[in-house]
Amino acid sequence: MTIDGLLYIALVFTLVLGAAFPLGHYLAAIFEGRVQFLRKAESAFYRFSGIDPAREMRWQNYAATLILLSFIHFLLLYAILRLQFFLPLNPQHIAGMSPRLAFNTAASFTTNTNWQAYVPEAQISNGAQVFGLTVHMFISAAAGIACAAAVMRAFCAGGLTSLGNFYVDLTRVTFYLLIPVSLIAAILLVAAGVPQSFGPFITAHTINAGLQTIAIGPVALQEAIKEFGTNGGGFFNANSAHPFENPNALTNLFENWLDLVIGFALPIAFGIMLRDKPQGRALMAAMAIILATACIGTYAAEQAGNPLHIAAGVSAHDGNYEGKEVRFGIPASATFNVSATGTSTGAVDSFTDSYTPLGGAIPLFLMQIGEVTPGGVGSGFYTIIIFALLAVFVAGLMVGRTPEYLGKKIQSREIKLAMLGVLVLTLFILGGAGFSLVTKSGLASLANAGPHGLSEMLYAWSSATENNGSAMAGLSADTPLLDYGLGAAMLFGRFAFMIPVLAIAGGLAAKPKLASSAGSFPTTGPLFIGLLIGVIIILGGLQFLPADTLGPLAEHYLLAAGKTF
Amino acid sequence: MLLLREIRPALSLIILFTMLTGVLLPAGFTAAMQLAMPYQANGSLITRQGQIIGSALIGQNFKSRIYFEPRPSALMGTDAKGNAVATPYDARESGASNLAPTSAALLVSVKQRIAAYLKAYGPGPVPADAVTASGSGLDPDISAANARRQAPAIAAARHLPAANVLALVSHMTHGSLFGIIGTPHVNVLQLNLALDALPAS
């Protein structure tokens, strides 16, 4: 590690946390209906769709409309992917996707996962990218943020029957947040060299290497919403390592910022809506402390390099460059990938399969602890609320009082539902990875042997279930087992978690809001932040450390002993 | 039955947002960018005598003693018979080796590359970027240290004073911003074009 690398990480956090405060104010204003500069377009959308914006939804309606809209959008994307050959904007004449790959991809983009079992340059047309994937990048992100807004409202007052209106939240978030920021970001990206063209691939007559065909497309706009909506689906196979997605170190920093900023702004927005800002800052602090530690950890591991390669004669100070791009360097590559797994983005600017064992274990663990640092847009917020409930429950057990969070009593229904959500995730990650590794098909998908093979499979199921989408990309994911299995994991990971969360929110909304008393456990300050971090790490550790020990940790010690596979 | 009534609003919103974010926005944005920044929007292409010779952002597979050599590229394609073959810097695709740190195959490749590097550029340190495959397989850059190591051999092959080529490398090096954003590196295609333009003595 060098001071320069640590300064880079400090710079990223300064820029992100600095922007999260004003953005949090803006988000709260959107959720409370105070942002109206596109009111006419908004009203036109409601009129055309037959939506009464004043209608209030109970949690059941909120969840049902969210799932119904997602389901219809899923079917539309499935149809687009199957039929892309016949749709416009297909200059490379790319064939329709197979049913199982289209299912996997539709599940992936509906759930904000953006797992890519397909090879973009060869298997998806420009038309399917813009009519299908780009739209899902806006809508799945907006749906997640809407769900977070619904959960926030549950804590704002007592005796509430409604969590808001899903259609209105979705529309406002898209109009006032996602579209304007993505447009500005996309313009900046084009200025830096990210293409935006619907033309065919380019043929270059190189001076020394014959003809070179260069894939190109409408990259910039998709790149912007890909990061800002924590989507992560690359226009190209190499994702943000591709020079057309991420041309230089500044765009890399900018994409990293886009990726994190909403996640950190949401708890700030929550504090504003509560009229109790320290509550939001406490959640943000817990997120930031875990993420910063993770960035430093992965950076240290990558900068130390691969001992086998150093022994073979590679410069010892350069760090592990396999799968990384020169223009970014080690600290920025590590920070980007850690940020993209601490959120649900899953974009990569370097390839995790070739990270050192500990460097790769940290992104894996960030996914397994539930993507709360700061997590996907919306999903990170409502997941950390679940952990906050568990933290006050644990504290309540220790002192023998009925736990409260923000004036709402936390009782058996809340804890049961919270654990149900958590266990669904665990079941898919450990059950799915375990099952895959005892099948022939699953074993055949592995690209690397030894403990690293286990890491690849664990990584895939963690990534799909937690709706991340990054991969140890050597894994061959377009197989019947993994297309269907991971597709199901993505859908359950999203919706079987969201429903209990909304059920908890609905129940808490109805409860009276108690004034805090001397006996209330404070949910701001270092004690609570420490407890919350402890609950997140211990719960994740208890569930996943045994499996992770056999993967990345075993590989770490074998690498130190000079063993290869 | 309650859910049936929700089909219209949900479907209508999807149609509207598909029109807005999937049609109007990309079409309008693309048109605006094609007008305002056509060079960037079309892939930062470099032309010589009216012919496209590459993109400033995409690496090329220089394999000649008179040119600077790019990083290894792990891209694989298939030949006419369907066999897997290495297709370095074939920009129809992109990707990394995805080989594990404990991969025996990776260690063999790295050792071979180290031997080749030392043979071509003489004894000395071996920069990591010179013997590892990039993330995209299309990395346009090499580290400044790597370029400086290659410079004397290339100068000799071109019968140029080594100092001239080294000076060119320094001139073409992009430093890191404020010392922390990015690494000192050189764009190989642009460096080689500048090399061709260098006067003979």
**How far A169 CA sits from the closest chain B CA (Å)?**
12
Yes or no, beta carbons of A243 and B58 under 8 Å apart: yes
pLDDT band at B201 (very low <50, low <70, confident <90, very high): low
Which residue do the tokens 């900046």 mark? A188
Q: What does the pLDDT read at residue A457?
A: 97
Query: A565 is written with which tokens?
Result: 């596979």
Phi and psi at residue B187, to the nearest 5° = -80, 120
Q: Which residues in chain A are closer than 8 Å to B138, comparing Cβ atoms?
A: 238, 242-243
Q: Which residues contact A555 (CB under 8 A, 6 or more apart)?
A: A357, A450, A451, A452, A455, B100, B101, B102
Query: A91 is written with which tokens?
Result: 């200059």
Q: How far apart are CA A79 and CA A102, in angstroms?
A: 8
Q: What does the pLDDT read at residue B2?
A: 72
User: Has residue B33 got a pLDDT over 90?
Assistant: yes
Contact in structure between A134 and A234 (CB atoms under 8 Å): no
Query: For residue A205, what is the nearest residue in chain B, using CA coordinates?
Result: B53
Average pLDDT, chain B: 95
Interface of B with A in 111-150 (CB under 8 A): 111, 114, 118, 125-129, 131-143, 145
Using the Cβ of B180 and the Cβ atoms of chain A, whether some distance falls under 8 Å is answered with yes
Interface of B with A in 35-64 (CB under 8 A): 37, 40-45, 48, 51-64
Q: What does the pLDDT read at residue B1?
A: 58
The per-residue pLDDT string of chain A (565 residues; one tens digit each, 9 = 90 and over) reads: 889 999 999 999 999 999 999 999 999 999 999 999 999 999 999 999 999 999 999 999 999 999 999 999 999 999 999 999 999 999 889 999 999 999 999 999 999 999 999 999 899 999 999 999 999 999 999 999 999 999 999 999 999 999 999 999 999 999 999 999 999 999 999 999 999 999 999 999 999 989 999 999 999 999 999 999 999 999 999 999 999 999 999 999 999 999 999 999 999 999 999 999 999 999 999 999 999 999 999 999 999 999 999 999 999 999 999 999 999 999 999 999 999 999 999 999 999 999 999 999 999 999 999 999 999 999 999 999 999 999 999 999 988 888 999 999 999 999 999 999 999 999 999 999 999 999 999 999 999 999 999 999 999 999 999 999 999 999 999 999 999 999 999 999 999 999 999 999 999 999 999 988 877 889 999 999 999 999 999 999 999 999 999 999 999 999 999 999 9
Phi and psi at residue B15, to the nearest 5° = -65, -45
Please, what is the Cα angle at A497 between A492 and A500, to 5 degrees? 130
Q: Where do the structural domains in chain A lie, given as residue ranges?
A: 379-560
Q: Which residues in chain B are closer than 8 Å to A181, comparing Cβ atoms?
A: none
Q: Which of A138, A195, A448 sits opposite B41 (nearest CB)?
A: A195
Q: What does the pLDDT read at residue B81?
A: 87
Q: How far apart are CA B143 and CA B158, in angstroms?
A: 22
Query: A440 is written with which tokens?
Result: 């022939």
Contact in structure between A107 and A134 (CB atoms under 8 Å): no
Interface of A with B in 256-295 (CB under 8 A): none
Yes or no, beta carbons of B3 and A564 under 8 Å apart: no
Interface of A with B in 171-190 (CB under 8 A): 171, 174, 179, 183, 186-187, 190
Which of B172, B134, B133 lies closest to B150 in space, CA to CA? B172
Q: What does the pLDDT read at residue A401?
A: 84
Which of A533, A441, A446, A535 lies closest to A480 in space, CA to CA? A441
Yes or no, beta carbons of A320 and B101 under 8 Å apart: yes
How many CB atoms lie under 10 A from the CB of residue B3?
12
Which residue do the tokens 């074009």 mark? B193
Q: Name residue B174's beta-bridge partners.
A: B185
User: Has residue B188 got a pLDDT over 80?
Assistant: yes
Q: What does the pLDDT read at residue B20?
A: 97
